[in-house]
């Protein structure tokens, strides 16, 4: 029997009719209540809540936190009440803190009602720690801790190279900060190579991403010739810049051996990364101009150095000219031909001694060579070589005979084995009129029970094969 759609007024009509009758009998006639479907009531609740309350800021403690495909689901509670809450992935990526159970937070969002599950919840757009765990308090507490540990000590910071030829620019790809820095580098000192490295600069995972990127660049800096690391980001709220206030980023900057310069936010913004860095610039583009030399200033410096060099060279030449003139007038310079003749005489004497020594050594070598030749003739090895050749010829002949005999025996054994295999092989059996039947898997059949009616078989004959289908089997 076909089922009709559910009709709440009809299904519950008897109950409400009985209630109306009771009310009429007890208190006189009255107007009966309108019967609503569950979906209609849910719609009424949703429109009332969402249209009346609007956006709210709720302080509470997180519990039952879970993440599903980047979306956050949790409960906000206080000592006497609780309410469900959720945050879509797009909004969660902008949150700087890592929500965990037990964290006191302030959640900003809108009250919504989800009819399929009958659940009223807060759809959050932002979350930040509340009370003593707020961002300002966290910033001050971490500053106090790191200052006591020497993170901000100027003595440990390294000097920035005066004219680096390669810098690594760490920021979000295609951001305004990256564009400003690349433009500033091209205008200030285009000879410097800029390696842009993409990194997340906002959201729950941004701090870990920044720290890992700093470590990776520092490890590869020598290989790629990187002399300075620029860590920059455009302006934003304290929450937007919070990734640069995390301890993990401060630790990465502290252990970085490559000079690191920050340009984060606006001139009034100061982060913990700025305090730990070797140099802090007010803005991203200022970070570039403070690291790279200005081309016009370098040109002026080169011109000044050229003029100083020319003046120094002129003064030196004048001093040499004066000294030479004084020496000539005082006859301190003598004719060099006498010194040259003396040196020629010494060279000739050395040459004669060298020729005499070489002649003596050659004569001694000829004498030793003659004596050696005489001894070799007295003990000539020709006879021993002839005897050895004869023994070698005999051994070669014996080896050839043995080889021919072994080859013949192996050939005879191979012929015997081949004949035996031919006699007992399956092809010989097939030649006598027998056949071999194989099932569909290629296995030889020995029992009719191994196949069923309709099975495909293949029969091997001495000449060719047959394919067949089982019609009946006899057991």
What is the mean pLDDT of each successive set of 10 residues along the chain, which is 475 residues long? Answer: 38 38 47 79 79 83 90 89 91 84 86 84 87 68 92 93 93 93 92 94 90 96 95 85 93 96 89 95 92 78 82 83 74 60 77 79 76 66 74 84 84 80 73 82 83 85 85 79
The alpha carbons of the chain give a radius of gyration, in whole angstroms, of: 51
Backbone phi, psi, residue 389, to 5°: -65, -40
- Helix axes of 247-255 and 206-224: crossing angle, nearest 10 degrees: 10
Give me the pLDDT at residue 20, please.
41
- Token pair recorded at residue 157: 């910071």
CB 246 within 8 A of CB 276: no
- Token pair recorded at residue 35: 């019967």
Give me the pLDDT at residue 208, please.
94
C-alpha span between 129 and 95 (Å, rounded): 10
CB-based contacts of 15, cutoff 8 Å, min separation 6: none
Instruction: Give residue limits of the domains in the chain.
Output: 1-35, 49-132, 137-293, 297-328, 431-469
CATH fold label, 49-132: OB fold (Dihydrolipoamide Acetyltransferase, E2P) (2.40.50)
Beta bridge partners of 347: none
Superfamily of domain 137-293: Hypothetical protein af1403; domain 2 (3.40.50.10550)
**3-state secondary structure string, the chain?**
CCCCCCCHHHHCHHHHHHHHHHHHHHHCCCCCCCCCCHHHHHHHHHHHHHHHCCEEEEEEEEEEEEEECCEEEEEEECCCCEEEEEECHHHHCCCCCCCCCCCEEEEEEEEEEEHHHCEEEEEEEEEEECHHHCHHHHHHHHHHHHHHCCCCCHHHCCCCCCCCCEEEEEECCCCHHHHHHHHHHHHHCCCCEEEEEECCCCCCCHHHHHHHHHHHHHHHHHHHCCCEEEEEECCCCCCCCHHHHCHHHHHHHHHCCCCEEEEECCCCCCCHHHHHCCEEECCHHHHHHHHCCCHHHHHHHHHHHHHHHHHHHHHHHHHHHHHHHHHHHCCCCCCCHHHHHHHHHHHHHHHHHHHHHHHHHHHHHHHHHHHHHHHHHHCCCHHHHHHHHHHHHHHHHHHHHHHHHHHHHHHHHHHHHHHHHHHHCHHHHHHCCCCEEECCCCCECCCHHHCCCCCEEEEECCCCEEEEECCCCCC
The residue behind tokens 């920035």 is: 160
C-alpha span between 35 and 128 (Å, rounded): 44
Give me the pLDDT at residue 252, please.
96
Give me the pLDDT at residue 14, please.
41
Q: Which of 139, 144, 157 is nearest to 279 (CA)?
A: 157
């Amino acid at each position: 029997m076909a089922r009709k759609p559910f009709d709440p007024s009809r299904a519950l009509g008897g109950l409400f009719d009985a209630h109306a009758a009771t009310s009429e009998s007890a208190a006189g006639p009255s107007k009966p209540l309108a019967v609503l479907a569950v979906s209609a009531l849910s719609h009424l609740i949703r429109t009332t809540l969402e249209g009346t309350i609007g956006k709210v800021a709720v302080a509470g403690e997180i519990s039952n936190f879970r993440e599903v495909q980047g979306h956050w689901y949790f409960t906000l509670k206080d000592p006497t009440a609780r309410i469900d809450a959720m945050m879509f992935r797009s909004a969660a990526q902008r949150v700087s803190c890592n929500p965990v159970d037990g964290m006191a937070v302030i959640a900003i969002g809108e009250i919504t009602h989800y009819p399929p599950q009958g659940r009223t919840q807060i759809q959050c757009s932002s979350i930040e720690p509340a009370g003593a765990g707020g961002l300002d308090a966290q910033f001050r507490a971490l500053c106090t801790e790191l200052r006591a540990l020497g993170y901000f000590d100027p003595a440990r910071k390294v000097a920035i190279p005066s004219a680096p030829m390669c810098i690594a620019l760490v920021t979000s790809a295609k951001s305004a900060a990256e564009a400003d820095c690349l433009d500033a580098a091209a205008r200030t000192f285009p000879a410097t190579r800029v390696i842009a490295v993409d990194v997340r600069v906002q959201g729950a995972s941004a701090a870990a991403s920044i720290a890992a990127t700093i470590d990776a660049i520092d490890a590869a800096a020598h290989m790629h010739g990187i002399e300075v690391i620029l860590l920059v980001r455009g302006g934003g709220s304290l929450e937007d810049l919070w990734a640069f206030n995390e301890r993990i980023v401060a630790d990465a900057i502290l252990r970085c051996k490559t000079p690191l310069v920050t340009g984060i936010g606006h001139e009034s913004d100061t982060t913990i990364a700025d305090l730990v860095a070797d140099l802090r610039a007010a803005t991203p583009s200022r970070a570039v101009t403070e690291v790279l030399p200005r081309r016009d200033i370098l040109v002026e410096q080169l011109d000044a150095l050229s003029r100083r060099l020319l003046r120094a060279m002129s003064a030196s030449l004048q001093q040499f000219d004066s000294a030479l003139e004084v020496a000539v007038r005082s006859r301190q310079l003598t004719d060099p031909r006498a010194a040259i003749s003396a040196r020629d005489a010494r060279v000739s004497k050395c040459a004669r001694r060298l020729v005499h020594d070489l002649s003596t050594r050659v004569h001694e070598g000829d004498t030793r060579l003659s004596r050696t030749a005489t001894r070799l003739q007295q003990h000539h090895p020709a006879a021993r070589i002839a005897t050895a050749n004869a023994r070698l010829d005999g051994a070669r002949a014996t080896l050839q005979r043995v080889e021919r005999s072994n080859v013949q025996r192996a050939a005879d054994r191979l012929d015997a084995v081949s004949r035996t295999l031919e006699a007992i092989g399956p092809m010989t059996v097939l030649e006598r009129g027998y056949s071999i039947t194989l099932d569909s898997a290629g296995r030889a059949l020995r029992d009719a029970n191994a196949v069923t009616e309709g099975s495909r078989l293949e029969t091997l004959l001495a000449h060719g094969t047959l394919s067949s289908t089982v019609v009946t089997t006899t057991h």
